[in-house]
């Protein structure tokens, strides 16, 4: 088992709770918790996108914000 840890960051997107997480080295995804959205999974999370090279790129593409 490697010691490499992937990063994650909680924040918001359009006023809703959101999560950005690194799914592999240089690959980020963003999810927003919006149970009223018809695209939401059984747990209420909607995947906004995947495979952004940086957290900043994911923020720019989705409107995700977090406390720095």
**What's the pTM?**
0.89
Domain extents for the chain? 8-62
Q: Per residue in 6-54, pLDDT tens?
A: 999 999 999 999 999 999 989 999 999 999 999 999 999 999 999 999 9
Residue 49, CA distances (Å) to 1, 8, 37, 44, 45 in order? 28, 15, 15, 16, 12
């Amino acid at each position: 088992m490697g010691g490499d840890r992937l990063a994650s960051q909680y924040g918001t997107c359009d006023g809703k709770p959101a999560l950005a997480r690194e799914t592999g080295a240089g690959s980020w995804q963003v999810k927003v918790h919006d149970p009223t959205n018809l695209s939401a999974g059984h747990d209420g999370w909607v995947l906004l996108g995947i495979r952004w090279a940086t957290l900043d790129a994911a923020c720019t593409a989705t409107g995700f914000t977090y406390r720095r």
